[in-house]
Amino acid sequence: MQARYHPLDDRLPGMLRSGRALRGVFNSLPSPAIVEMCGYAGFDFVIIDNEHGSSGLETTENMLRAARASGIVPVVRCLRQDISRILDMGASAVQIPMVASAAEARDLVQQVRYPGVGRRGSAFSPRAAGYGAFPGGAHTERSNAGIALIVMLETPEAVAQAGEIAAVEGVNAVFVGPNDLSHAMGYGSDWHSPQVEAEIERALRAISTAGNCAGVIALTPEDEAKYGQWGARYFAGVTTGLITHALQQASAAGGRLDKVASLSY
């Protein structure tokens, strides 16, 4: 009998523990093709953005299929009320915005893990369990060990607790959201201001010191190098920014694609 291909990609927790730099992109466009393109481009992961993106749940599931087909690990940034359905669709991780405390992080661990570790409702009929092809204890064990929880710190209050949040068992990575942090601090979108950068550094160092994987948006190689020195290893760009920049270059070159400089990130 031919081996069956499991729909749930369970590589991410190990990747986050590996100590190596991981590079991916946020994608807010409701397009499985964009997800495939990210996979074929060689990124380690794609974050399907259901906080700010326009994808419905059916399109999200199709983007998860596209990720599995192209070999890229799919993370879904989603709101708390959608965690169960997103995981049942077969996401490798959920990335939850605006986590403010260690207590909130512990509650999220409970939502993401099945009984024995947490309180996630058990079902074997959705895609994550192969629509019943991979049921029972094996699915529960694979999910509890192979699904990652990534929490986002986006306020000064959260940054002050970064070490405690990072130390919560079951949190696989902690991501600093610089734009919301900058707004919360009163600096608008200027997350490169010295005051905001000091808080980003404080958070990344605290997460790394706690033994967890620190993440942040890195839009340039210079950003990645700087944040890497502060302890970050999980770096995310933005697909819309990359696409818009490429189109602007093409427009400035009169539509001559051969005149468009290759993108460095």
The residues carrying an active-site annotation are: 52
Taking the C-alpha atoms of residue 242 and residue 147, their distance in angstroms, rounded to an integer, is 28
Bridge partners of 213, per DSSP, are 173
The sign of the CA dihedral 69, 73, 77, 83 is positive
3-state percent breakdown (helix, strand, coil) of the chain, nearest 5: 50, 15, 35
Instruction: Assess contact for 46 and 25: CB atoms under 8 A.
Output: yes
- DSSP E strand stretches across the chain: 22-27, 45-49, 73-77, 93-96, 148-153, 173-176, 213-217, 232-238
Instruction: Assess contact for 214 and 231: CB atoms under 8 A.
Output: yes
Write out the H or E segment, with its range, that includes residue 201: helix 194-209
**Structure tokens of 138?**
């094996």
Taking the C-alpha atoms of residue 152 and residue 216, their distance in angstroms, rounded to an integer, is 9
Q: How far apart are the first and last CA of the chain?
A: 43
